[in-house]
């Protein structure tokens, strides 16, 4: 398992890619960034996903404004890291229509 930094056009934080048991895992950390950077980076990262990959977001709080924008196409599980940050793991729904408007990356609060 090797964690390699990858280029994600438009990202404001580093993205990393690794393969874990045949699943490609993309990771980014926006816990130290102000709005709208978490939303912008999440929308960029979600575009990387296919049925064999996951996206892991580390953030300073739950990205509640993001979830309604993506829930038709992506599943997500959120957990607290114990230090005030949250971890959200996104996966693409099987047989989901590609309905997400990735240009909708403002956080509205």
Q: Domain boundaries in the chain?
A: 4-87
Q: Poorest-confidence range of 8-12, 43-47, 51-55, 104-108?
A: 104-108
pLDDT of residue 109: 47
Give the pTM. 0.93
Q: Which residue has the tokens 């130290």?
A: 32
More confident residue, 109 or 69: 69
CA distances from 81 to 57, 62, 102 (A): 12, 11, 27
Evaluated on CA atoms 41, 26, 81, 66, the torsion sign reads: positive
pLDDT of residue 97: 81
* Percent of the chain whose predicted confidence (pLDDT) is above 70: 95
């Amino acid at each position: 398992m090797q964690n390699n930094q990858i280029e994600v056009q438009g990202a404001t934080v580093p993205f990393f890619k690794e393969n874990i048991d045949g699943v490609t895992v993309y990771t980014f950390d926006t816990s130290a960034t102000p709005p709208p950077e978490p939303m912008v980076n999440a929308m960029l990262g979600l575009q990387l996903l296919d049925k064999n990959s996951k996206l892991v977001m580390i953030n300073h709080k739950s990205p509640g404004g993001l979830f309604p924008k993506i829930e038709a196409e992506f599943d997500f599980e959120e957990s607290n890291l114990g230090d005030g940050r949250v971890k959200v793991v996104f996966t693409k729904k099987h047989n989901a229509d590609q309905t997400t408007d990735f240009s909708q990356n403002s956080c509205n609060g």
